[in-house]
Structure 1
Amino acid sequence: MEQQALERGSLPKLQINPLRMEDVRAAFADGWRDFRTYPGFGLFFGAIYALGGLFIAVMLTYYHLPWMIIPVAIGFPLIGPFVAVGLYEISRRHRLGEPIAWKAVLGEVFRQRERQLSWMAFVVLFIFWIWIYQVRLLMALFLGFRIPATLEAFANVVLTTPAGLLFLAVGTVVGAVLAIILFTATVISMPLLLDHDVDFVTAMLTSMRTVIENPRPMLTFGVIVAGMAILALVPFFLGLLVVLPLAGHATWHLYRRAITANT
């Protein structure tokens, strides 16, 4: 506990380290090791994420908004970094040799509502809502206000009509820009805020600088995680049971390689 207090009790001087592609591979390898070592925790947090996505899909269908399932499903991984806080805590405790128990891990997750990480939740959700509203705006611009009532009809319009293909192209570009912005702002800041007592603005700026100074490995990491998350959505969000814990643990290990904190 004294070591934990030392890390979190003083303002650290943050140093951004150069990263190589080998660091990305090692981060995923270490993340997979953590998942295999503590599978119960990983499956628990992955299940929360998967059930959340499935619940949203069911509610959209219930309220006759099935056409929103695709944009929501694509944008849903944007909130993954916040859900993965518990996974960061497991990897942190494993590194420090601290006991890993449900009460300790969940207690630390709930304590984040009183720390700067809670502000990052607003940032993440704000960008997620921007994604949802820009989808609705683009639908109105390219498809008009008469949106198909079923998911199959919506997919048919998007994939087989000139207006639908243009909507898909513009939406993909806008979505990619939002995803890059969110990834750049959160990939390092989330684990950093869990690990040290820094303000969320400093954490976001540190995360952005890390990506800017290490664009190839950081963006490669982001593309891999995004690709895995999208593929995991296909079987009724069930792939997230594995993808979320793997990505969460890997993010922690990439953060540890990218940032040196001198107190």
Structure 2
Amino acid sequence: MGKVQDGSGGRSVQPSIRRIEIDDLRACLVAGAWDFAQAPVIGLAIGGVFSLIGIAITLALAVWGVPWLIYPFAIGFPLIGPFAAVGLYEVSRRLEAGREVTWSTVFAVIWAQRRREVSWMAFVMLFVFWMWMYQVRLLVALILGRMSFATLERFADLVLTTSQGWLFLAVGHVVGAFLSLFLFSITVIAIPLLLDRDVDFITAMITSVRTVLASPVVMVAWGVFVTLAVVVACLPLFVGLMVVLPVLGHATWHLYRRAISY
């Protein structure tokens, strides 16, 4: 595995991976809620931006005459959540170090990521999200191709009351679960690591996967919890993301700090 340099340009070190337990997840959630309470305006702003993006895309799908894509979009939308959390990681990092948290310092760090390895991770996440949406359309063509569903209500009735619809749901969710597990494994530790240390994105992804493999049951449980929490937050017109996204983002930073040491 590649080596990691600290943010100050110090000597290269190999990160060591600590096994994560369920109690660690509880502690991370508590710490995440505390961080959100210390800088709520920044958290609400970042969560609000993604709420607005979700609403805008949902309205666009309805206007374009493909409202049935709203459901897979809402399911897949959390796939790009880790990139949204970069600013939240920076807030937690500053609070942890006892440094001042301001709009200018946090958003300066977010803006700086365009020239760092995090931008490559954003490409990876968007590519997986595109794969998810593409396979949904492929499954629709293969399984539901001869059926008519011009509205979201008709699509819901079709997939819930017909054998073809049940097959579509079963295959779609299995494929979606695989993609989600893959993306979770390569990003859960990678993005906070890229923010915190001078490391290439390949090494960061490998470190993230190694962390998941070190505590597979607990880490997958965390991934499932995060996915369900974000999906539920998306249901009331994505408004719930304003709170859920920042709390989970801060919590993920603390998970990274517990899992990785130098």
After TM superposition, the score normalised by the length of structure 1 is 0.95
* 2:65 corresponds to: 64
Which residue matches 2:213? 212
Distance 1:255 1:217 in 2: 14
Report what 1:164 is aligned to.
165
The match for 2:7 is 7
Is residue 245 of structure 2 the alignment partner of residue 256 of structure 1? no
Q: Match of 2:93, SS?
A: helix
Distance (Å, rounded) in 2 between the aligned partners of 1:260 and 1:9: 17
> Where does residue 223 of structure 1 map in the other structure?
224
Task: Name the structure 1 match of 2:112.
Answer: 111
Measured in 2, the distance between the counterparts of 1:86 and 1:134 equals: 31
User: Does the CA contact (< 8 Å) of 2:6 and 2:197 recur in 1?
Assistant: no
Superposed CA deviations along residues 6-26 of structure 1, whole A, max 9, x for unmatched, are: 634233321101211111110
Instruction: Give the AA of the match of 1:199.
Output: D
Distance 2:29 2:120 in 1: 27
Q: Deviations over 1:116-157 (max 9, x none)?
A: 111000100000000000000011111015551110001110
Once residues 197 and 185 of structure 1 are traced to their aligned partners in structure 2, the CA distance between those partners, rounded to angstroms, is: 17
Matching of residue 142 in structure 1 with residue 134 in structure 2: no
SS of structure 2 residue aligned to 1:237: coil
Indicate if the aligned counterparts of 1:81 and 1:190 stay in contact, CA closer than 8 A: yes
SS in 2 for 1:19: coil
SS at match of 2:32: helix
Larger mean CA deviation between 9-18 and 167-176 belongs to 9-18
Structure 2 CA distance for aligned equivalents of residues 147 and 24 of structure 1: 45
Aligned residue for 1:17? 18
**Is the 1:12–1:196 Cα contact (8 Å) retained in structure 2?**
no
> Counterparts of 1:78 and 1:244 in 2: how far apart (Å)?
12
Match of 1:48 in 2: 49
Q: Kindly provide the CA deviation profile for residues 197-245 of structure 1, in whole angstroms up to 9, marking residues without a partner as x.
A: 1000000000000000111221111111111111111111111111100
For 1:65, give the aligned amino acid: V
Taking structure 1 as reference, are residues 6 and 183 closer, same or farther at Cα in structure 2, changes over 3 Å only? closer
Name segments (4+ residues, structure 1) moved above 6 Å. none
Contact 2:6–2:196, Cα closer than 8 Å, also in 1: no
Tell me the equivalent position of 1:125: 126
What is the percentage of aligned positions where both structures have the same residue? 53
**The residue matched to 1:47 in structure 2 has which SS?**
helix
Q: Which residue of 1 aligns with 2:199?
A: 198
How high is the TM-score relative to the length of structure 2? 0.96
Q: CA RMSD in A?
A: 1.2
- TM-superposed CA distance for 1:79, in Å, is 0.4
The equivalent of 2:87 in structure 1 is 86
After TM superposition, the structure 1 stretch with the greater mean CA deviation from structure 2, 137-146 or 154-163, is 137-146
Which consecutive residues of structure 2, in runs of 5 or more, have no partner in the other structure? Answer: none
| Structure 1 match to 2:102 | 101
Question: Is 1:17–1:258's contact at 8 Å kept on the other side of the alignment?
Answer: yes
Aligned residues: 257
1:81-113 deviations in whole A, cap 9, x for unaligned?
001110000001111122111011000000001
SS at structure 1 position matched to 2:198: coil
Q: Secondary structure at the match of 1:9?
A: coil
Letter in 1 for 2:119: S
Query: 2:146 and 2:107 mapped to 1: Cα distance?
Result: 44
Distance in 1, matches of 2:148 and 2:216, equals 39
> Compared with structure 1, are the counterparts of its residues 6 and 193 closer, same or farther at alpha carbon in structure 2 (3 Å cutoff)?
closer
